[in-house]
């Protein structure tokens, strides 16, 4: 991925938007982050400050009562701060562990607003894969932003506390001094120290940029191997056993023994960063040591405070270095954050419409395709050409044709997953693009060939909502002929599908899963029921039986049965025959079969052997 040049304003905009997103993903995180940072920042300074007071008392008045109080407060306070810090850190870690899952859920939710063509675009799918891979393998993108934002907040607090504790260092000693002590006691020491600090920050930043580049190169190579490893981890156990994929996987893993080389390269990157950034830091530490020692010699601070200031100045320098390093990493990480935003900001040019869909008690709707032609985005091939078709609610329509004849594309246009390239689709005489998108989509209940069932209960798979109307679920399952099967299970409709997560789940057969998908279509109770070859994996006789049963359950609705097999046709009111993207015939089964020169006659006779009992 190219690390293009961005201005500081652009980087700040990306970081601000990214922080807004992770606050949405982890809404309670900030509530624990602020007190956790305050406590973790106070934890090292509390005993350091009181220890300095103890030393001062031991070298001064030696008041035993005050010494005992200071010791008790130091031990007790440190213990309580440690407990509180552990509690808050635990809550943060618990939330942080949820980031990956919620990050993916956030993307999933955003995809519901995408224009459908993006979901079928392989470039968009690759972009999504890169986003998740970067987060899971290299901790890039919003995950890094979360961690660095947290660390930077801690560093800023550290700077504020350490700077406030060292202000008394710059008090001037009484008396006349010459040479080195006069310079230390003069106002000129301040700009000199600032100059040393600025030089250290510049060198550290340049070193951090080079180190981050090296780290990301290493991580990018590691991510490639991780993707290869996931290919084996996603393989089914039966494939691993039957085809001995484990032997291939082990051989590949042995080839990947260059991981120690990556470790060595990472160590070299760390060493290079240390060698580049430490000299100026060491020089600054020496200057600060002599400055603090001189102040102690001049009597500005006590012996105990000398120990305190050495500790606080060291923590101040560490905080500056960490902030500089994190700033460089943030700017580098912004290329990954930017890709997340490019994904989230994919344009949706589909017009959503403003007309309400008429709610009709008689559910009398009429759909018309008027001279519709269609090309998929990024393609010059016509999938449909000059289609004219009309059908009404309450009628059963079969759309048949060989594979690739445009049947599924026709339904995608009907459901407004795409808009026609040419021509119009009308609902009761009005262009469907003028209707409110969500209301229009509510007219359809579709079972596509590549339907999906999820690894949760049958009830939730059918209802796809919470709460679940269990009576309605049972009714839909019974209507598609799988109610008795579900009723015989120990947990009934609360049985989970598949054995991915629960041992007492059930692996339903392909035909049973298809019936559950059909029950889901019925549960929605939409005026239009569309079955787009959901039973293609079954044999023709079984498919005909399922279609016949489904036909009986939706007599009051418009049913559209799409198939390259003709088992659904005999009980349909009308049949539309497609060939190479064009509507070539239309009529009843008997009418079309009587035309011996027609495409339907050809298809029927080619498949008739499967329906002869």
Name the more confident of 341 and 292. Answer: 341
CA distance 511 to 465: 24
Closest CA to 165 of 46, 261, 64, 73: 46
Can you say whether residue 404 is alpha, beta or left, with left for phi > 0 and alpha for psi between -120 and 50 degrees?
A: left
The rounded distance, in Å, linking the Cα atoms of 417 and 448 is: 13
Residue in the structure block whose two tokens are 């440190």: 78
Q: Torsion angle of alpha carbons 327, 332, 335, 336, nearest 10°?
A: -90
Per residue in 316-325, pLDDT (tens digit) is 878 887 888 7
Q: Are 470 and 493 in contact (CB under 8 A)?
A: yes
- Compute the radius of gyration of the chain from its Cα atoms: 35
- 451-525: CATH topology is Rossmann fold (3.40.50)
DSSP for 467-510, please give it: S--HHHHHHHHHHTT-HHHHHTSTTGGGPBBSSSS-TT-B---H
Q: Which fold has domain 8-26+98-344?
A: ABC transporter transmembrane region fold (1.20.1560)
Q: What is the pLDDT of residues 4-54, one digit of tens each?
A: 677 888 888 998 898 888 888 888 788 888 888 888 888 887 887 787 778
Kindly indicate the confidence band of residue 334, based on its pLDDT and cuts at 50, 70 and 90. confident
Report which of 130, 113, 102 is spatially closest to residue 23, judged by C-alpha positions.
Answer: 102
Give residue for tokens 């787009």: 532
User: How confident is the model over 521-567, as pLDDT tens digits?
Assistant: 888 888 888 888 766 656 666 666 677 777 776 766 778 888 777 76
What whole-number percentage of the chain has pLDDT above 90?
10
Query: What tens digit of pLDDT does each residue of 485-527 get?
Result: 999 988 889 888 877 666 678 888 877 888 888 888 888 888 8
Q: Confidence band (pLDDT; 50, 70, 90) for 577?
A: very high
Q: Are 500 and 509 in contact (CB under 8 A)?
A: no
Phi and psi, residue 372, nearest 5°: -90, 130
Domain ranges in the chain are 8-26+98-344, 451-525
pLDDT tens-digit map of 302-318: 666 777 777 777 788 78
Answer yes or no: is pLDDT of 113 > 70. Answer: yes
Structure tokens at 421: 């390239």
1: nearest Cα among 173, 127, 139, 163: 127
* 44-68 tens-digit pLDDT: 878 877 877 787 777 777 778 888 8
pLDDT in the model for residue 610: 59
Q: Which residue has the tokens 């105990």?
A: 304
pLDDT top residue among 449 and 390 = 390
Evaluate if residue 484 carries a pLDDT over 60. Answer: yes
Q: In the predicted model, is pLDDT for residue 238 greater than 70?
A: no
Contact 444, 526 (CB under 8 A): yes
* pLDDT category of residue 197 using cuts at 50, 70 and 90: confident
pLDDT category of residue 139 using cuts at 50, 70 and 90: low
Q: What pTM, to 2 d.p., does this model score? A: 0.70
Give the Cα separation of 242 and 229 in Å (integer): 19
Q: What is the largest CA-CA distance in the chain?
A: 121
**Average pLDDT for residues 248-258, to the nearest whole number?**
57
pLDDT at 601 over 60: yes
The chain-wide mean pLDDT, for the chain, equals: 79
Residue whose C-alpha is closest to residue 281's, from 319, 244, 243: 319
Angle at 285 between CA 281 and CA 291, to 5 degrees: 145
Q: Residue 418 pLDDT more than 60?
A: yes
Peptide bond into 246 cis (omega under 30): no
pLDDT greater than 60 at residue 362 = no
CA distances from 437 to 148, 324, 370 (A): 41, 49, 20
- Whether residue 230 has pLDDT greater than 60: no
């Amino acid at each position: 991925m190219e690390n293009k040049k961005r201005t500081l304003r652009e980087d700040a905009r990306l970081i601000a938007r990214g922080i807004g997103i992770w606050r949405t993903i982890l809404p309670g995180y900030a509530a624990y982050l602020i007190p956790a940072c305050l406590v973790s920042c106070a934890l090292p300074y509390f005993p350091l400050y009181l220890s300095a007071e103890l030393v001062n008392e031991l070298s001064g008045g030696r008041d035993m009562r005050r010494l005992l109080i200071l010791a008790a407060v130091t031990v007790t306070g440190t213990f309580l701060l440690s407990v509180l810090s552990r509690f808050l850190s635990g809550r943060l870690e618990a939330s942080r562990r949820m980031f990956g899952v919620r990050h993916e859920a956030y993307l999933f939710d955003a995809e519901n607003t995408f224009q459908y063509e993006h979901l079928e675009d392989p470039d968009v799918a690759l972009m999504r894969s890169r986003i998740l891979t970067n987060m899971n393998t290299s901790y890039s993108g919003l995950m890094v932003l979360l961690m660095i934002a947290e660390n930077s907040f801690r560093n800023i607090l550290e700077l504020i506390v350490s700077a406030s504790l060292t202000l008394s260092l710059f008090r001037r000693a009484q008396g006349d001094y010459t040479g080195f002590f006069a310079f230390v006691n003069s106002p000129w020491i301040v700009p000199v120290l600032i100059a040393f600090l600025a030089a250290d920050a510049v060198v550290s930043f340049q070193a951090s940029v080079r180190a981050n580049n090296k780290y990301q190169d290493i991580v990018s190579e590691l991510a490639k191997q991780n993707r290869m490893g996931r290919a084996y981890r996603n393989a089914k156990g039966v494939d691993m056993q039957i085809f001995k994929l484990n032997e291939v996987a082990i051989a590949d893993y042995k080839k990947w023994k260059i991981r120690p080389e990556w470790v060595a390269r990472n160590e070299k990157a760390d060493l290079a960063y240390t060698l580049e950034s430490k000299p100026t830091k060491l020089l600054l530490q020496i200057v600060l040591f002599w400055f603090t020692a001189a102040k102690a010699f001049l009597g500005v601070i006590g012996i105990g405070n000398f120990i305190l200031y050495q500790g606080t100045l060291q923590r101040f320098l560490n905080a500056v270095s960490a902030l500089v390093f994190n700033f460089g990493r943030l700017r580098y990480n912004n290329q990954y954050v930017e890709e997340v935003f490019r994904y989230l900001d994919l344009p949706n040019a589909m017009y959503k419409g403003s007309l309400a869909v008429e709610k009709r008690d008689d559910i009398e709707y009429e759909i018309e395709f008027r001279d519709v032609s269609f090309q998929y985005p990024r393609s010059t091939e016509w999938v449909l050409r000059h289609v004219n078709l009309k059908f009404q609610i309450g009628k059963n329509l079969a759309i048949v044709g060989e594979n690739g004849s445009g049947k599924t594309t026709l339904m995608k246009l009907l459901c407004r997953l795409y808009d026609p390239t040419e021509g119009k689709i009308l609902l009761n005489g009005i262009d469907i693009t003028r209707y409110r998108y969500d209301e229009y989509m509510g007219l359809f209940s579709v079972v596509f060939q590549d339907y999906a069932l999820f690894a949760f209960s049958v009830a939730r798979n059918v209802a796809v909502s919470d709460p679940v109307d269990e009576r309605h679920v049972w009714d839909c399952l019974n209507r598609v002929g799988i109610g008795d099967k579900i009723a015989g299970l120990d947990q009934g409709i609360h049985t989970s599908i598949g054995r991915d997560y629960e041992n007492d789940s059930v692996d339903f057969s392909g035909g049973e899963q298809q019936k559950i998908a059909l029950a889901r279509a019925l549960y929605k109770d939409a005026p239009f029921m569309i079955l787009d070859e959901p039973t293609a994996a079954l044999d023709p006789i079984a498919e005909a039986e399922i279609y016949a049963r489904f036909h009986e359950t939706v007599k009051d609705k418009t049913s559209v049965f799409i198939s390259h097999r003709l088992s659904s046709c005999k009980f349909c009111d009308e049949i539309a025959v497609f060939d190479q993207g064009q509507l070539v015939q239309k009529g009843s089964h008997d009418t079309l079969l009587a035309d011996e020169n027609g495409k339907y006659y050809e298809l029927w006779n080619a498949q008739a052997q499967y329906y002869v009992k």
